[in-house]
Each structure stands twice: as structure tokens, then as C-alpha cells.
Amino acid sequence: MIKRLLAVWHARNLEFIRDRSTMIFVLFLPIALIVGMSFVFGGKERPLFKVGVLAQAVAPAAHPFLRERFIDFVAVPKEADAVHKVARHSLDLLIDVNPPVRYWVNPSSPKGYIVEKLLLQADPSAHRQPVSGDAVRYVDWLFPGILGMNLMFGCIFGVGYVVLRYRKTGFLKRLHATPLTAFEFLTAQVLSRLGLTALVTTMLYTGISTLIHFHSAGNLLLLFVLMLLGSLSMIALGLTVAARFSSEEMVGGLLNLLTWPMMLLSGVWFSLEGSPEWIQWVAKLFPLTHLLDAARAIMLDGAGLETIGGDLIYLAVTAVAFLAFGAWSFRWRVE
């Protein structure tokens, strides 16, 4: 038994070593993840909380609270913008250290609650200010993120693995013998998945919003159009990976490479407020970032087409670009 086991083990090792693309990828992903994480949560100590300071720059000497550890202090010059960020959970707390010391906190934010305790310990005289406008519950802020993440995984993995399986079994090769073109085949896959995603997301939206008593501030039809365009872009993105490769390891790895950074950097779980500017710029490349920014704007702020039009255009353009690239690089058979 050991002999057989060793023989299989050896053969698998050889296969892995010879499959260079997979090997490079397997080595690359953890490095990319580590590098990515270190930038997002960079520094010696990973801050747990994000506090806005009403100033052009943060000066720790200005107030004892600004010397607390594990808090990321971000300078925010404009009061109105900063208060809005507190309401939208982009900042856990906002402080103005010029006497009399004032602070703003979202009463529904769990992190805000803890940071407030720390602040009052450092300075019991600080005055709490009302958060103007609707303070959004944390769960409301998270809701679009969860919907978006689910949509992203469904779209990218759903089509990616199906096309890979078709190629491996030879079904794609059989289709190639017919007049069907790559673009037709891919479009059919996209549309099939789009219908499914629309159905599932609508069901999830209805179910969860009933459960948490959520009411969208904006137009639901606009939200639906946004969801369709976001799904289209991400399905097409999944197809660009599945268009060519025949190795499960390779495709699985590449799909992970696409989804993980999106999950971390698109604002599903936490805001990128205060992250280095270039990280925020990279995040803006991801379709999920545009989908979530626009979804939050509609659902929480009641934004209309004029506000999220740019995001819609970005999603539509990337969908067409990914699909065109997928059709161009498409392979019908195992090379």
C-alpha cells in the first residue's frame, strides 16, 4: 500500500512541478494576499478602530486621546463630510479636539460604542454631538456588502467552473463542430447566469430586508438595473479566466485571486477610509467596489441616476470589455 501511495504521491509531485502556470500561481497567491493585507492593515500595530479628527493633519500632542493605541486617526478637514461618514460607518467616531472638545458617534455602531468609552476615559469633558441626518444602523450598512459578495462569488465561480468542465469533458469541442461562435456561447452562459443571479439576489434582498426591517431610501428599479449590470460585469470577469485554461488548479487559483482582493478591498466588511490613496485607487478598478458604492448610495442615501451614473457606465463598459476579451482568448478544447 505504501509503495502504491508513494508512486501516486511522486507522480502528483511531478505533475505539479511540470504544470508551471499552476505552480507560479500557487506561490503567487499567498504572497499577493500577504502584501495586500499588509497594505490595508499596514503598520506595526493593526488599528482596531478608525477615528476622524477634524483638522488638516493629526497632531497627537493636541489631545491625550490621540495617543491611544490600536486606533487609526484620520485627518478630515470638513465637518459635514466627516459627520456623514460617521453616519455611514466609514468612521467609528469623529472628534474635534479644539476646546470645547466635541465628538460625533453613530449610536448603532458597535465599534463607535467602544471608542466612545475610550474617549470618555481619556477626556470625560468631551461633548457628544448629534449625528445629523439619518444615522444608519451597522446592519444596514453591511447589508449591501453581503448581497454584493454573494453575487460576486456566484457570478465569478458559477460560470468559471462550468465552462472549465465543458472543456474538460469535450462538450465544448463538440459544440465547436457546429456553427456556434465563441461569443455566442459565452453570451449564452452570461445570460443564463444573469437570470439566475437576478432571481437569487431579488429573493435574498426581499428576505433579508423583511428580516431586518430595512427600507431602501432610493429607487428599487434603479437598484435592480445596478444589480444586473454588476452581475454582468462579474460573470464576464469569471469568463475571462475560464475562457482559456483547462486545469482546475489554475482556474480555481485565478478565480480566488480575483475574488479575495475584491472581498477585502471593495468595502464589503469595512470601509477603506484612511487606507493609502493608491489602495483606494486600486479598489476603484474592481466592479464590486462600484456595485457596492452605488448600492449603498441608493439604499442608504436615496441616490438617483445622476449620482451613480458613473458606476453604471463603469460596470457596463467592463462587462463588454471582459466579454470581448473572453471571446478573443477562448479555447474550445484542452490544449
Partner 1 sequence: MIDIGAPRSYDPAAPRRITDQPVSPPLLEVRNLFKTYPGATPVTAVDGVSLVVPEGVCFGLLGPNGAGKTTTIEIMEGILGSSSGDVFFRGEPIGRRFKEEAGILFQKTALQDFLTVRQSLTLFRGLYSHGLDVDEVIKLCALEKLEKRDTRKLSGGQQQRLLLAIALVNDPTLIFLDEPTTGLDPQARRNFWELVQSIKARRKTIILTTHYMEEAELLCDEIAIMDRGRVIAQGTPRALLREHFDEVLLELPRQEFPEAARGLPLKVIEASDRVEITTNDLDGTLRTLMDAHVPLKDLRIRPPNLEDLFLELTGKELRA
**Shortest Å distance, C-beta 334 to partner 1:** 12
Spatial neighbors of 221 by CB under 8 A, at least 6 apart, are none
The stretch near partner 1 (CB under 8 A) out of 81-89, 167-175, 223-231, 267-275 is 167-175
3 state SS of 19: coil
Nearer to partner 1 among residue 175 and residue 198 (C-beta): 175
Contact between 67 and partner 1 by CB under 8 A: the answer reads no
Closest Cα partner for 54 from 107, 123, 116, 100? 100
Contact between 173 and partner 1 by CB under 8 A: the answer reads yes
Contact between 170 and partner 1 by CB under 8 A: the answer reads yes
User: What residue type is 319 in one-letter code?
Assistant: A
The stretch near partner 1 (CB under 8 A) out of 52-60, 176-184, 241-249, 256-264 is 176-184
Contact between 21 and partner 1 by CB under 8 A: the answer reads no
Looking only at the bridges linking them, the beta strands covering 71-76 and 49-54 are parallel
**Shortest Å distance, C-beta 325 to partner 1:** 21
C-alpha cell of 88? Answer: 455611514
Closest Cα partner for 221 from 305, 318, 152, 150? 305
CB 244 within 8 A of CB 162: no
> In the set 102, 176, 284, 331, which binds partner 1 (CB under 8 A)?
176
CB 227 within 8 A of CB 151: yes
> In the set 75, 146, 175, 282, which binds partner 1 (CB under 8 A)?
175
DSSP state of 60: G
Contact between 166 and partner 1 by CB under 8 A: the answer reads yes
For residue 77, give Cα distances in angstroms to 55, 65, 95: 5, 18, 11
In angstroms and rounded to an integer, the radius of gyration of the C-alpha atoms of the chain is: 24
Nearer to partner 1 among residue 127 and residue 333 (C-beta): 333
Cβ of 260: how many Cβ atoms within 10 Å?
Answer: 15
Contact between 128 and partner 1 by CB under 8 A: the answer reads no
> In the set 2, 179, 210, 281, which binds partner 1 (CB under 8 A)?
179
User: What residue type is 218 in one-letter code?
Assistant: G
Contact between 169 and partner 1 by CB under 8 A: the answer reads yes
Number of residues that bind partner 1 (CB under 8 A): 14
The stretch near partner 1 (CB under 8 A) out of 18-26, 173-181, 204-212, 235-243 is 173-181
**Shortest Å distance, C-beta 244 to partner 1:** 16
**Shortest Å distance, C-beta 177 to partner 1:** 4
> In the set 177, 210, 215, 306, which binds partner 1 (CB under 8 A)?
177
3 state SS of 74: strand
Site map 293..332 versus partner 1, x via CB under 8 A: ---------------------------------------x
The runs of H, that is alpha helices, within the chain are 2-18, 20-40, 79-87, 110-122, 138-169, 171-176, 182-211, 220-242, 248-265, 277-283, 287-301, 305-328
**Shortest Å distance, C-beta 156 to partner 1:** 21
Footprint of partner 1 (CB under 8 A): 166, 169-171, 173-180, 332-333
